[in-house]
Amino acid sequence: MSTALNDARPALTMLSEDETMFRDAVRDFAEAEVTPLVSSMDAAQELDRGLLGKLFEMGLMGIEIPEQFGGAELDFFTSVLVVEELSRVDPSVGVLVDVQNTLVINAVKRWATDAQKAAWFPRLAGGMVGAYALSEAGSGSDAFALSCRASQDGDDWILEGQKLWITNAREAEFFIIFATVDPDAGYRGITAFVVESGAEGFTVGKKEDKLGIRASSTCELVLDGVRVGADAVLGEVGVGYKVAIETLNEGRIGIGAQMVGLAQGALDHTIRYVKEREQFGRPIGNFQGVQFQLADMATRIEAARLMVYNAARLKDAGQDFLMAAAQAKLYSSEVAQSVASTCIDLYGGYGFTREYPVEKYYRDAKIGTIYEGTSNMQKQTIAKMLLK
């Protein structure tokens, strides 16, 4: 009987030994280096520049970049672990690293020429932050209704237009810009270009004053006659829609990891609190009603984590992960909001103040159902896959 029960238990192989050691190292880094800065960065709405340098020193900003270019040459799943652990402490830092690795570096890795990789990868691994500029005022969920234009002038391209809600814009020096070279061609006219900060006519504009993830910069970009060479085209002319779609599919797994980390961080703080906070002569964690809420949150977080990990494993294995990514992003973002809300309830009045950390997790959680594909868009993707 005992043997049968032991055999029925899930195998503890969700992470390999190397993955566990790496995760623990990132967790220790986050606790030591990020935790002391969370409140001040949120209040200032700005990432600490010293912390940014430490993220590069740790190798967390070039996880999948080959070693020959200064990167860690690890897999996509490792990027997911990093985003989760950083987001457990501060989702603003988590999304900075997420965009760098799951969007920017993944796009370069898949679509850049060998010459472009040799030019860009050492810099992206060594201190250059990247940003991914697709969204515009008139193209949110309808991502390819772009007004940003690219016109050819000899061998060069001239970019005109605006981008909105661009994560990492303040810190970035490397921007993947999506523009259309032929409006009449629809999505087949969209092309991805690389623009570096300092280019003439390129301006990082207004920084958004956001509800949550306030230390993460979110800005508009203005392109006023920005000239780039032919070597700035990422992929081929007219295949920008493929660059965007395929990269975003991977990026959704990263957002799922961010939301899992956020939910876990909120729960961790709450478990400590309910063991200390006393009412009616005993810790509130001794009350069954509180215990049931903790159990429910822990179970839902674990389910979301497994969905995120499964999608990442499928991606690394070269298998179809589209529906798994959509499901992971949808579910984890909903879990994060629910868990953060319940944690505030368990803190009571204290949870509604900025003196305690769960208030920030609650604000940070809201973005999960919006960016990199709203929850409704994830549902539409899932339904299409089911009905195919």
Active site residues: 372
* Residue owning tokens 């830092």: 93
Asked if residues 216 and 92 have their Cβ atoms less than 8 Å apart, the reply is yes
SS3 labels along 81-113: HHHHHHHHHCHHHHHHHHHHHHHHHHHHHHHCC
What the block records as the tokens of 107 is 């796009």
CA–CA separation, 65 and 70 (whole Å): 7
- Minimal CA–CA distance to 82: which of 308, 314, 375, 329? 308
Which 8-state DSSP code applies to residue 15? S
What the block records as the tokens of 383 is 């339904």
Please name the amino acid found at residue 221.
Answer: L
Helix (H) or strand (E) holding 23: helix 17-29
Neighbours of 293 (CB within 10 A): 18
What the block records as the tokens of 243 is 């660059």
What the block records as the tokens of 315 is 């991606």
What the block records as the tokens of 88 is 């457990």
Residue 222, strand partner residues: 162, 203
* Residue owning tokens 């070279």: 181
Give the CB-side neighbour count of residue 126, counting CA atoms within 13 A.
Answer: 10
Residue 196, strand partner residues: 174
Three-state DSSP at 353 gives coil
